[in-house]
Every structure is written in structure tokens, then in C-alpha cells.
Amino acid sequence: MKYRHAFHAGNFADVHKHVTLNALLRALARKDKGFLLLDTHAGRGGYDLSSSEAHRGHEAEHGIERLIDVTPPAAGWPAEISDYLTAVQTLRRERHDRAAYPGSPLLALLALRAQDRAVFIESQPGEHAALREAVSEFARYAPASLAAPRRAAVDRATLECADGYGRIAAWLPPIERRALVLIDPPYEDAVGDQRALAQALDTVLARLPSAVVAVWYPIKDQRATDAWIQRLTARLPAPPDAATMPWLVGELCVHPPDSRVGLNGSGMLVLNPPWRIAERMREWLPVLHHALDPLGRGGWTVREGAA
Ligand SMILES: C[S@@+](CC[C@H](N)C(=O)[O-])C[C@H]1O[C@@H](n2cnc3c(N)ncnc32)[C@H](O)[C@@H]1O
């Protein structure tokens, strides 16, 4: 496998995925009962946007750096965007490093509560070693008042160097009976990842039908992506105790659908979306789109359905 997320860290797709992840973590935290975050493709944990890899494609300039530079709307950023920006700025301030960028594990560790747990799985040994380092460093930079809860958050996290798809059955159902499963594959082998993903959704839903599942996917050819999402959602099993399985799709495109740039847009499929997430997404997604695609070449969409 050649994929290294450091080349893409902080790009528009990371921003879209991480705002959505943060919003889902906050939504699950509305109930007191703890939950498990299972991050099947965790990456390195955190990224250095001044590294040669990150610099090569200048991707963060059109993602997190643009969002930070843009003037917020007169009414201020929607809560989901400002929460995400606060997390990024917190990491940068604590590390005295304007180029630091949190991957999904560090974002999650900043958001999880004392009653929540996390499992981070990364299959590439080098990336896994970096993840281990990033998570163990998490408490070191915290101000003294936050050091103890940060250490406790790290203690409640489990890291595995393994195939994330293959480990789902081992972690579900969790004792809390509540889970957010983030599946964020590289799609380097698009057909292979799509096949593994469909199986992974079956496993998650068979073991915990109420799990909230968030799947990131790239949008290169919009028609092909639409057809794949339709096939994927059509085959979702209905949960045993309900008539239907609700899902929602949030997409952010920064290029026209027929553009040949490589990555036109970023999509998030959410199964069992938490209460009011779709409504909130219709507030924050257009604002995020306007900030990241000021010329309006792409677009945004929120679609809901039930299988
Ligand atoms: C898109 S990146 C993850 C980024 C991370 N979720 C974030 O938001 O910061 C995908 C990661 O999955 C890893 N990977 C690829 N195949 C995997 C598998 N079968 N199981 C676990 N990790 C895998 C890659 O090495 C890469 O680090």
C-alpha cells in the first residue's frame, strides 16, 4: 500500500469529514451514558502541515488554512464549525505549532468524555507507530489543569495495528451498548474497499443495530458515486426492532462534477444519524461550502433515506 494520509491532511475533504465527526461526537454526548468510538482506519493521529509530504500538494491551503483565514459570517460560524476550529486552534496553541493538525484520533480524544472510550485501528506499521506516539503525547502538551483528564482519556483508548474491517466483530457490541463507528478507508483499491465496506456495514449492524456509523467516501465521478451509494444503502438490513434503517448523506464538492482534477468532493454516509443532525447539517454545510469554494464551482447536498 502506497497511501499516506500526510499528503492530504487538512485538505477540504479532511475538514468536511472532521467537522462531521466532531458534530457526531457532540451529538452522542447529549446523553449521559458513555459510548465507544471505533475508528477502523485511524491514520497517524496528528499531522504536521509543514512537512514535505503535506507541502507537496498544498492541499491544506484549500482546506483548514482557508477556513481559518476566511471572515466568519456576520452571525458567526455555526456551532459545528466553531467547535472544530476551536479543537484545531487548541492543539496548535498548546504545542506552539501553527502547522499542527489533528487527525480523527486527536479530534476524538479532545471531544470524548470521562465515560466514553475509543479504539483506534491502523494497519500500516509505520503509521501505527506514529499514531501511538501522537496519542501518548496527547497529555504532555496540555495545561496543568487538563493533564489528568487527558491522561485518563489516553488510558481509556486502545490502539491496534491490524485490519480495521477485520476487527469490527471483536469490538462490537461494546458493554456500553452505544457506539460510533468511523470507517475512513484510503480507497486506493476502490473496488476492494467498497466490497470490504459493504461487508463491514453488515457486521456492524448485525452486532449492534443501533450503532451510529459514519463512512467517508471520495467523489470523483458524481454519477458513479451516486449509483454506488444507492446500491450500498439499498442493501442495508432493516434493524430487528424497527421498520427501517435511517441513513443520511452529506456531500461537499469544490469542483464541478465532471472535473478531472482527481477529487471533486467529499462525502459522509451516516447510518442511524443522531437526532437533528440532518437539520444541523443543512445549516453548517452551505456555510462550509461557501468558505471552501467561494467561486461556487461545486456544491453541497444533504439527502436522507431509510432502508
Ligand atoms: C484516510 S486515512 C485515515 C485518516 C484518519 N481517519 C483521519 O481522519 O485523520 C486511511 C488510513 O487507513 C489505513 N489503512 C488502510 N487499510 C487499512 C485497513 N484495512 N485497516 C486499517 N487501516 C487501514 C491507511 O494506512 C491510512 O492511514
Contact between 178 and 35 under an 8 Å Cβ cutoff? The reply is: yes
Question: Cell 454526548 maps to which residue?
Answer: 29
Nearest 5 degrees, angle CA 63-CA 64-CA 69? 105
Nearest CA to ligand 1 atom 27: 43
pLDDT of 241 > 80? The answer is no
- pLDDT-based confidence at 244, cuts 50/70/90? confident
Please give the distance of CA 261 from its chain centroid, rounded to a whole number.
Answer: 23
pLDDT of 34 > 70? The answer is yes
The Å distance, Cα 185 to ligand 1 centre, comes to 5
Give the largest CA-CA distance in the chain. 51
Nearest CA to ligand 1 atom 6: 42
Average pLDDT over residues 272-290: 97
Closest CA to 257 of 302, 225, 294: 225
| CA torsion angle 140 143 145 148 (round to 10) | -10
- φ, ψ of residue 63 in degrees (nearest 5): -120, -110
* Residue range 101-147, pLDDT digits in tens: 999 999 999 999 999 999 999 999 999 999 999 999 998 888 999 99
Question: What is the DSSP track for 223-243?
Answer: HHHHHHHHHHHHTPPPPTTSS
What pLDDT, on a 0 to 100 scale, did the predictor assign at position 225?
95
Average pLDDT over residues 284-291: 98
The three three-digit cell numbers of residue 215, written as one number: 463512512
Looking at the chain, the whole-number percentage of residues with pLDDT higher than 70 is 100
What pLDDT, on a 0 to 100 scale, did the predictor assign at position 307?
85
The Å distance, Cα 141 to ligand 1 centre, comes to 25
Q: Give the residue extent of every domain in the chain.
A: 5-306
Out of 123, 183, 199, give the residue to mutate to test ligand 1, the one with the largest number of ligand atoms within 8 Å of its CB: 123
Pairing of strands 46-48, 36-39: unpaired
What pLDDT, on a 0 to 100 scale, did the predictor assign at position 270?
98
Which residues on adjacent β-strands are paired with residue 246? 306
- Atom nearest to 40 CA in ligand 1: 21
What pLDDT, on a 0 to 100 scale, did the predictor assign at position 242?
65
* Residue range 138-189, pLDDT digits in tens: 988 889 999 999 999 999 999 999 999 999 999 999 999 999 999 999 999 9
HEC assignment per residue over 116-133: CEEEEECCCHHHHHHHHH
Nearest CA to ligand 1 atom 9: 103
Q: How many CB atoms lie within 10 A of CB 218?
A: 17
Q: What stretches of 164-243 adopt beta strand conformation (E)? A: 179-183, 212-219
Question: Cell 451516486 maps to which residue?
Answer: 226
Closest CA to 286 of 261, 258, 251: 251
The three three-digit cell numbers of residue 154, written as one number: 489516553
Average pLDDT over residues 231-252: 88
The three three-digit cell numbers of residue 304, written as one number: 436522507
- Atom nearest to 196 CA in ligand 1: 19
* Residue range 47-100, pLDDT digits in tens: 999 988 877 778 999 999 999 999 999 999 999 999 999 999 999 999 999 999
- Atom nearest to 44 CA in ligand 1: 27
Binding-site residues, ligand 1, Cβ < 6 A: 3, 5, 17, 40-43, 103-104, 121-124, 127, 163-165, 184-186
Cis bond upstream, residue 72 (ω within 30): no
For 5-306, the fitting CATH number among 1.10.10.10, 3.30.420.40, 3.40.50.150, 3.90.230.10 is 3.40.50.150
Contact between 273 and 214 under an 8 Å Cβ cutoff? The reply is: no
Out of 119, 122, 135, 189, give the residue to mutate to test ligand 1, the one with the largest number of ligand atoms within 8 Å of its CB: 122
Kindly list the catalytic residues.
184
Out of 4, 5, 40, give the residue to mutate to test ligand 1, the one with the largest number of ligand atoms within 8 Å of its CB: 5
The Å distance, Cα 250 to ligand 1 centre, comes to 21
Which of 61-65, 138-142, 269-273, 292-296 bottoms out in mean pLDDT, i.e. has the lowest?
A: 138-142
The Å distance, Cα 194 to ligand 1 centre, comes to 14
The Å distance, Cα 113 to ligand 1 centre, comes to 24
